[in-house]
Structure 1
Amino acid sequence: MAKRKVEKFSFDYDIAASIIDYARKVSEEGLTKGTWGNISVRDGGYIYITPSGFPYDKLTPKHITVVDSKGNKVYGELAPSSELPLHIEIYDKRADVHAVIHTHPIYSTIVSITLQEIPPIVEDAVMILGERLFVSEYALPGTKELAKNAVKSLGDNHCVFLKNHGLVAVGENLHEAFVATLVAEKTAQIYIEALKIGNVSVLPSEHARVLREKYLKSYRQK
Structure 2
Amino acid sequence: MVFNTDVATEVVKYARIVSEAGFTKGTWGNISVYLGDFIYITPSGYPYDLLKPEDIIVVDKQGNKLYGSLKPSSELPLHIEIYNNRKDINAIIHTHPVYSTVISLTVSEIPPIVEDAVMILGERLRVSEYALPGSWELAKNAFIALGQNNCVFLRNHGLVCVGENLHEAFIATQVAEKTAQIYIEALKIGKVIEIPQEHAKVLREKYLTSYKQK
TM range (shorter): over 0.9
Which residue in 2 is equivalent to 1:134?
126
2:207 to 187, 212, 215: 215
Unpaired runs of 5+ residues, structure 2, are none
Deviation per CA, 1:190-209, whole angstroms, max 9, x where unpaired?
00000000121100000000
TM-score of the superposed pair, with normalisation by structure 2: 0.99
Structure 1 residue 164 corresponds to structure 2 residue 151: no
| Corresponding letter in the other structure for 2:69 | E
Which residue in 1 is equivalent to 2:182?
190
Deviation per CA, 1:175-201, whole angstroms, max 9, x where unpaired?
000000000000000000000001211
Question: How is 1:19-168 mapped onto 2 (pairs within 5 angstroms)?
Answer: 19-168=11-160
Highest CA radius of gyration, 1 or 2? 1
SS of the residue corresponding to residue 127 of structure 2 reads strand
Cα offset for 1:220? Answer: 1.3
Following the alignment from structure 1 to structure 2, what is the Cα–Cα distance between the partners of residues 220 and 75?
34
SS of the residue corresponding to residue 189 of structure 1 reads helix
| Corresponding letter in the other structure for 2:131 | A
2:5 to 9, 13, 18: 13
Deviation per CA, 1:85-116, whole angstroms, max 9, x where unpaired?
00000001100000000000000000000000
Unpaired runs of 5+ residues, structure 1, are 1-8
SS of the residue corresponding to residue 66 of structure 1 reads strand
Cα offset for 1:68? Answer: 0.5
Following the alignment from structure 2 to structure 1, what is the Cα–Cα distance between the partners of residues 183 and 5?
40
Following the alignment from structure 1 to structure 2, what is the Cα–Cα distance between the partners of residues 219 and 36?
34
Aligned length: 214
Deviation per CA, 1:148-186, whole angstroms, max 9, x where unpaired?
000000000000000000000000000000000000000
SS of the residue corresponding to residue 35 of structure 1 reads coil
Following the alignment from structure 2 to structure 1, what is the Cα–Cα distance between the partners of residues 192 and 108?
16
Cα offset for 1:44? Answer: 1.2
| Corresponding letter in the other structure for 2:189 | I
Cα offset for 1:23? Answer: 0.5
Following the alignment from structure 2 to structure 1, what is the Cα–Cα distance between the partners of residues 76 and 107?
26
Give the root-mean-square deviation of aligned CA atoms: 0.4
Following the alignment from structure 1 to structure 2, what is the Cα–Cα distance between the partners of residues 173 and 216?
15
Runs of 4+ displaced beyond 3 Å: none
SS of the residue corresponding to residue 178 of structure 2 reads helix
| Corresponding letter in the other structure for 2:24 | T
Following the alignment from structure 1 to structure 2, what is the Cα–Cα distance between the partners of residues 89 and 200?
34
Following the alignment from structure 1 to structure 2, what is the Cα–Cα distance between the partners of residues 195 and 202?
12
